[in-house]
Structure 1
Amino acid sequence: MKHRGLLLLAALASSGCLSAPEIVMVDRATALEEQASGSFKDVELRLARAGMRPTPVPFTPNQLEEMGSPPTPLVENLGKTQADRVDELLRRHCVGEGRDGLLVDTRRSCQAGRLTADDVALVARVNRSRLQLWQWMRTVRPSVSEEALRRSWQQVHAEGVVCGGWVESADGTWGEKKC
């Protein structure tokens, strides 16, 4: 009986009735499967670009103030003069009125904020203007010594220094101007 089954199988195989089924191997998903699963290539590309683009870190006003940044005024003071800016620096103790009549950089004593490059340039301009004023005063009154002119100018100027401004006393110590 076993031989008969084998003979039948051999006869069928030689006659061509028996053939292997056609198998198609697909290594990619079909278009329908790709649509169903979704393509994230565009999203991944946008995410990669966003990761490479630097953006500012959001800080609250309190966090900025804790880091030493002065609080932003509610209204912009566009009409501030150089004298107003110097008075503000004197009040914050970032700059002091030296006993020689010149402004002195005292940023180590600065209470709020910091001294910017614009502030340093302003102090240099004010000091240069004062030196030029003293030279002119010397030409007007040549009989008076430069030291005496500076001292008399500094005494008069000290009266106009803003209250609470940082000033150097005769003994070289720094303190706030009392009003």
Structure 2
Amino acid sequence: MKKAIEVADLTLKILSCFAVIGAGAWAVWIFVLGGSTGWQANVTIETQVLPYHDDLRLLVVHVKSKNPRNVTFELDSAEHDSYWLHVRKLAGDAKAGAAFGEDEGEAIKDIDLLKAIGGDYVFIPNAEMDDMQTIVVPVGTTISLNAEMRQNNGTLDKRGKPDFDFESGSTVVHIGP
């Protein structure tokens, strides 16, 4: 009986050591390797075109953002963070094979989504947000939309200016009759 107690005691001590080592490995994974203090947002854009009047249409834009992490992050305009929706008109006479970058085209409107909600946006873990904007556009126009979040990461770039991390989402929509 005494031998069985000693074996059980030794087994529990060994299991306790494995539990401590496992918890330490988990903490290293979460806080060092997994970047638990880092931020991430999944940004997508959904659109809908509605009739308006004459040859004009309403382009309804839903900028959807989701915080997939288990950590809260914040965009704060006082820290020079930003959240913009850029609306551009793409050229209608491009040749076959032409490529348009996200920042190409005639600027129609730049919308400050952070300002629209008061300059401070808190993303709690797994939160999903939907920021809607409506833009009047003419029929026959091809529109490029780019939503971009930028957060000051507290460091300086190689030019000595504040450095930013960013996430973005883009889409293109044609405004048909």
TM class, shorter-length: under 0.3
Report which of the two has the higher share of helix. 1
Which structure has the bigger radius of gyration? 1
TM-score, length of structure 1 as denominator length: 0.25
TM-score, length of structure 2 as denominator length: 0.25
